[in-house]
Each structure stands twice: as structure tokens, then as C-alpha cells.
């Protein structure tokens, strides 16, 4: 669980309140200005920095030349495919909302590569700059030892910049980023493969219109992809219009995708594989694959998380997590499988409220499917999920931990568990938190451990899933969790208002007629 993060954030905000995190290049010098709307070409093999740079045949050679230029709205900086630069790319200037500045590639072949050799900072860096597109690059920053050095792949920093807006990071390959696990002046969760971070103590520093899409992030840490807004709680301070879409994160030291301090963030159609692969003695080793925290009205949907590890010292290891200070977060249409810590962590220990977990599929997750930690988030509603646990697993369906939540935990809160299908062939139990859980209209099939909750409208008959346990890698491989003709789950669930309107498979869910139980609301097959 992420119980240490809040304390460390309070300590370290002051440290970076007025300055950039250390990077390779200092700021403050006047840079030559680019020509308006011009496209600049950079060719490490055949370019020359004395060239004009405005055509492929008169390309610049070094990123130092790029870094020495202040770019204007509509400019493009194109790096030649197949070329390699061992330097930090830190161009200056900002675009406009209608004419962003674009960093991309030209030519055919491998993506242009920008790398550092374990140096502090990031190979691609922007500081207090708006209206940029960063695309089609290969980026790395590898070190044999992680130590206390914060390394990133692509790093967007806002410190004293007010609202930094309209940043798109797409179609990049970020790998071999060796980030620190240690709280060495800042929270290490905020750094990793792709990091978009406010590092000051001023609530007016925030992000708007951040899109991170279609990137592959591998062999990176601490975090794969992170958007982090330090000071977010007051009205107007949280980052807005943040979207993390269609990315793949794999072999990540700790957390795969993390959103901190956002209003209305969307985490959609991402895949996280083998997160939590690294630990250090004496450090905070908790990790989950995909999790939003400290924010309001965030939605996590259509994602897949699998093979998340739970190494020594990692009490988490879940595929998904709704963490501290989650206000009205929704977790829906996700596929979780083979995660060592289970499917879902629901962490309060704060002011979290109204966590909704619906239309998800969990297959062969370990330890615990639903873990309540730090007390019970008031208004938690878990409905129309389908859970399959194969024979030989000792997976608990429900459990709870860290009940006092550092003095903020409360087990005396109501929560709701309805219309779920639990297909349990394992030997785990239900360890129910508190006494105010409402269990209704669920199907509990297979093994019935002693802790199975009372449910006056439960069914214990075979739900007749089409082919349980047949899901593979991919959110579209779970058709086996639809219902067969004659299933007792068909049209036998409880009506739930404001139910999202669709099931996992895109079928309509009415708010006035009885739905199916489980994540599938279509007709029998």
C-alpha cells in the first residue's frame, strides 16, 4: 500500500519549491530565435551546425545546436531516422494552442535515438514550456546502479511556470531508464520512463491538456509513466485534461502507470506487464501496475494488467489500485490476470469517497481479489464484476489490512458488493472488513469457504460461463466470460442507478430493467 507517500511529499515540497530538478544544462542565457513556422532538420551523420538547418540537405548535426535555439509556434524539429545522439535534447521556447512545436523524425528506418549514460536528468526535457508534441523517438538513460540519482526518459517539468498546457507525448520507445528507488530530496514515484511533474509548492503550478499516447515503455523505473501534480487539493489547483492512452509498459521497477493530483484524468486502453520487478532493502517497495491517486473524478478503463510482482516488502502487487484521496474515482472495463497481489486495492486512510469498481474481469489473480486498506472508503460500490480463480490457488476473494490507516482508517463505513460472479475453484476465503458491507444478488459458485458473506439474494448454481479460465493476454481475449443460454445470471441482478450504461463488452445496461450478474449483460450464447 502507498501509505508512505503522503508523508514524504510534505517533507520534500520545500526542497524543490524554487528551482528545476538538476539537469545537464542550466537555463537563463539568451538563445538565437528560430524562423517562424520553419522546419529544422538534424542529421548526426551528415549534418553540420553551420548549416541553415531548414532542409534535409542543409541539416544541423548536434542537439546542442537545437538546445541553443528558441523555437516559435509552428516550428518542427525533425531528427533523422537511424541517427544516435548521446546528449540531452532541451530545446527552448513554447508553441501556441493552435500551432504547437513538434519534435519528430524524418526518413525511413529506426527511430532516432537520444540517450544518456546514466546521467542525472532526462535525454528529452522541457521546463515550464507549453504547446509541444514529442513523437517518434527512441530514448534511454541506463546506469548499472540506481543509487540516489533521479533519471528519466522524457521529462516535462513545471516549477513556477503557472499552467503548462497542451503537451502531447506519443509513439515513442522509452527503455533502459534506471531510476532511483530512494526518497533523496523528492518522492521517487514521480520519476521514470515518461514523467510529467510539478515539483514546487505553489498550487497555481499545474498541467492542462496532457496526452501520453501510444508509447512503449520498457525496462524503466521507478515508474513507467507518471503525471504528478504536487499541490492539487484546493479548487483550481489540480491538473486537468490528462489522458494516458494506448500505452504499453513492461518490466517496470515499481508502478506501471501513476496519476497523482489530477481532476478528471483518463487512463484508457493501456497494458501493464511485469511491474514491481525490483526492490531495495530499507526502501518503500510497494507497487501496483495501474493506479490513480490524490484527485477527483478520474476514470481508469479498458486496461490490462498482468504479472505484477509482490517481492519482499511489497504488500501490494495488485493489477489496479484506487489510492489515497480518491474522490469519485471509477475503475471499469479492465482485465486483470495473474497478478501476485490480486486484482484491486481500495485504499482510504484519507478523505477518499465513492470508489466505483464495475464491469471488470479478474482471472487467476493471486493473494486477494479485493483488498480494503486503511479502512473503508465511504460509498465504495463493487458491482457486476466477474472473478475466476482456478484450482490450486489460495486466493482470498476479500481481505483487509492496515485498518487504522495511520489514524485515519475507519471500518465503520457502508460499502456495496452486488451482481458479481465469483467462480471460485481455489482454497482462499473471505475476510470481510467491518459490519456495514451490503452483499446482494451475487453468484458464489464453486468452493464455499467459511467466510463467504451472507447474501439474501445470492445464487450458488453454475453461472454457465461460455469458457471460464480461457482468457489470454489482451482485453479482447475474454469472450469466455460471457453467459451461455440458460445461465441463472441472465436478467437476475439488482437494478443499479447510474450504472455506466454499458458492460465490459459494450452491451447496453438499463437503469430500469433487471441486468445480468457479472461483467456481461448481453443475451445467452
Give tens-digit pLDDT for 472-482. Answer: 999 999 999 99
Output b/e per residue, 43-53; b: 16+ Cβ within 10 A.
bbeebeeebeb
Residue 200 binned pLDDT confidence (cut-offs 50, 70, 90): confident
Cβ contacts of 7 within 8 Å, gap of 6 or more: none
pLDDT at 6 exceeding the cut of 50: no
- Quote the pLDDT of residue 16: 43
- Quote the pLDDT of residue 24: 58
Q: What is the 3-state secondary structure (H, E, C) of 334-390?
A: CEEECCCCEEEEEECCCCCECCEEECCEEECCCCEEEEEECCCCCCEEEECCEEEEC
**89: β partners:** 124
Q: Is 372 exposed, middle or buried (0-12, 13-18, 19+ CB in 10 A)?
A: buried
Question: Collapsing DSSP states into helix, strand and coil, what is residue 405?
Answer: helix
Residue 213 binned pLDDT confidence (cut-offs 50, 70, 90): very high
- Quote the pLDDT of residue 25: 55
Positions of E strands within 178-334: 192-198, 206-213, 216-220, 223-229, 239-245, 248-252, 257-260, 262-263, 266-268, 271-275, 290-293, 295-296, 299-301, 304-306, 318-322, 326-327, 330-332
Question: Collapsing DSSP states into helix, strand and coil, what is residue 175?
Answer: strand
CA atoms within 13 A on the CB side of 288: 26
**322: β partners:** 346
179-203: average pLDDT: 91
- Quote the pLDDT of residue 22: 61
For the chain, percent of residues with pLDDT exceeding 70: 94
DSSP state of 452: P
Comparison of pLDDT for 20 and 278, the residue scoring more: 278
135-149: average pLDDT: 94
283-312: average pLDDT: 97
DSSP state of 8: H
428-437: average pLDDT: 97
Q: Is 30 exposed, middle or buried (0-12, 13-18, 19+ CB in 10 A)?
A: exposed
Q: Give the cell for residue 262.
A: 489530477
Q: Is 56 exposed, middle or buried (0-12, 13-18, 19+ CB in 10 A)?
A: middle
Average pLDDT taken over every residue of the chain:
94
Element (DSSP H or E) covering residue 67: helix 63-67
Q: What is the 3-state secondary structure (H, E, C) of 144-184?
A: CCCCCCCECCEEEEECCCCEEEEEEEECCEEEEECCCCCCC
How far, in Å, CA of 169 to CA of 181, rounded? 24
Residue 19 binned pLDDT confidence (cut-offs 50, 70, 90): low
356-362: average pLDDT: 99
Residues in the chain: 525
Give tens-digit pLDDT for 229-265. Answer: 999 999 999 999 999 999 999 999 999 999 999 999 9
Question: Collapsing DSSP states into helix, strand and coil, what is residue 36?
Answer: coil
Q: Which of 21-35, 55-69, 186-200, 314-328 has the least mean pLDDT?
A: 21-35
Q: Give the cell for residue 161.
A: 511556470
pLDDT at 522 exceeding the cut of 80: yes
How far, in Å, CA of 300 to CA of 291, rounded? 8
Residue 17 binned pLDDT confidence (cut-offs 50, 70, 90): very low
Q: How far apart are the first and last CA of the chain?
A: 40
Q: Which of 13-22, 57-66, 392-401, 445-454 has the least mean pLDDT?
A: 13-22
423-439: average pLDDT: 98
Q: Give the cell for residue 92.
A: 527552448
**396: β partners:** 368
Residue 186 binned pLDDT confidence (cut-offs 50, 70, 90): confident
**438: β partners:** 416
How far, in Å, CA of 88 to CA of 101, rounded? 18
Residue 30 binned pLDDT confidence (cut-offs 50, 70, 90): low
Q: Is 449 exposed, middle or buried (0-12, 13-18, 19+ CB in 10 A)?
A: middle
185-211: average pLDDT: 94
pLDDT at 7 exceeding the cut of 60: no
Q: Which of 97-101, 122-126, 180-184, 202-206 has the least mean pLDDT?
A: 180-184
Residue 34 binned pLDDT confidence (cut-offs 50, 70, 90): confident
127-131: average pLDDT: 98
Amino acid at each position: 500500500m502507498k501509505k508512505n507517500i503522503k508523508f514524504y511529499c510534505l517533507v520534500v515540497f520545500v526542497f524543490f519549491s524554487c528551482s528545476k530538478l538538476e539537469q545537464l544544462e542550466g537555463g537563463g542565457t539568451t538563445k538565437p530565435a528560430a524562423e517562424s513556422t520553419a522546419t529544422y532538420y538534424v542529421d548526426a551523420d551528415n549534418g553540420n551546425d553551420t548549416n541553415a538547418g531548414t532542409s534535409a540537405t542543409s541539416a544541423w548535426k548536434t542537439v546542442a545546436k537545437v538546445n541553443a535555439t528558441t523555437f516559435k509556434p509552428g516550428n518542427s524539429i525533425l531528427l533523422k531516422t537511424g541517427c544516435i545522439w548521446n546528449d540531452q535534447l532541451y530545446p527552448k521556447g513554447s508553441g501556441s494552442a493552435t500551432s504547437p512545436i513538434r519534435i519528430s523524425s524524418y526518413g525511413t528506418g529506426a527511430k532516432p535515438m537520444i540517450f544518456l549514460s546514466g546521467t542525472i536528468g532526462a535525454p528529452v526535457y522541457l521546463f515550464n514550456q507549453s504547446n509541444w508534441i514529442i513523437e517518434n523517438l527512441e530514448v534511454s538513460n541506463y546506469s548499472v546502479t540506481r543509487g540516489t540519482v533521479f533519471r528519466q526518459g522524457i521529462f516535462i517539468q513545471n516549477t513556477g511556470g503557472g499552467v503548462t498546457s497542451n503537451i502531447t507525448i506519443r509513439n515513442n520507445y522509452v527503455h533502459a531508464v534506471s531510476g532511483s528507488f530512494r526518497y533523496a530530496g523528492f518522492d521517487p514515484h514521480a520519476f521514470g520512463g515518461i514523467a510529467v511533474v510539478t515539483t514546487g509548492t505553489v498550487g497555481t503550478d499545474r498541467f492542462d491538456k496532457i496526452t501520453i499516447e501510444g508509447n512503449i515503455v520498457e525496462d524503466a523505473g521507478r515508474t513507467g509513466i507518471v503525471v504528478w501534480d504536487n499541490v492539487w487539493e484546493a479548487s483550481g489547483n489540480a491538473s486537468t485534461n490528462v489522458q494516458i492512452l494506448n500505452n504499453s509498459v513492461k518490466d517496470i521497477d515499481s508502478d506501471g502507470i501513476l496519476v497523482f493530483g489530477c481532476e478528471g484524468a483518463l487512463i484508457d486502453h493501456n497494458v501493464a506487464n511485469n511491474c514491481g520487478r525490483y526492490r531495495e532493502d530499507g526502501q518503500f517497495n510497494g507497487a501496483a501496475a495501474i493506479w490513480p491517486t490524490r484527485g477527483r473524478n478520474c476514470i481508469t478503463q479498458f486496461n490490462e494488467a498482468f504479472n505484477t510482482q509482490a517481492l519482499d516488502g511489497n504488500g501490494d502487487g495488485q493489477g489496479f489500485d484506487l489510492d489515497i484521496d480518491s474522490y469519485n474515482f471509477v475503475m471499469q472495463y479492465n482485465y486483470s490476470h495473474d497478478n501476485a497481489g490480486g486484482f484491486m486495492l481500495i485504499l482510504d486512510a484519507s478523505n477518499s469517497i465513492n470508489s466505483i469498481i464495475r464491469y471488470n474481469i479478474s482471472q487467476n489473480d493471486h493473494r486477494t481479489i479485493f483488498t480494503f486498506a486503511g479502512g473503508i472508503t465511504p460509498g465504495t460500490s463493487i458491482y457486476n464484476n466477474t472473478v475466476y480463480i482456478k484450482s490450486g490457488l489460495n486466493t482470498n476473494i476479500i481481505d483487509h489490512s492496515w485498518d487504522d490507516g495511520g489514524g485515519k482508517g475507519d471500518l465503520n463505513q457502508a460499502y456495496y458488493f452486488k451482481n458479481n460472479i465469483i467462480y471460485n475453484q481455489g482454497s482462499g476465503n473471505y475476510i470481510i472488513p467491518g459490519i456495514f458491507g451490503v452483499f446482494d444478488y451475487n453468484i458464489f459458485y464453486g468452493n464455499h469457504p467459511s467466510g463467504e458473506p451472507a447474501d439474501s439474494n445470492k445464487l450458488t448454481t453454475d453461472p454457465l460461463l461460455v469458457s471460464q479460465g480461457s482468457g489470454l493476454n489482451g482485453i479482447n481475449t475474454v469472450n469466455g466470460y460471457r453467459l451461455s443460454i440458460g445461465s441463472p445470471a441472465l436478467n437476475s441482478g439488482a437494478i443499479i442507478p447510474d450504472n455506466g450504461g454499458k458492460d465490459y463488452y459494450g452491451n447496453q445496461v438499463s437503469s430500469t430493467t433487471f441486468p445480468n450478474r457479472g461483467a456481461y449483460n448481453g443475451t445467452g450464447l
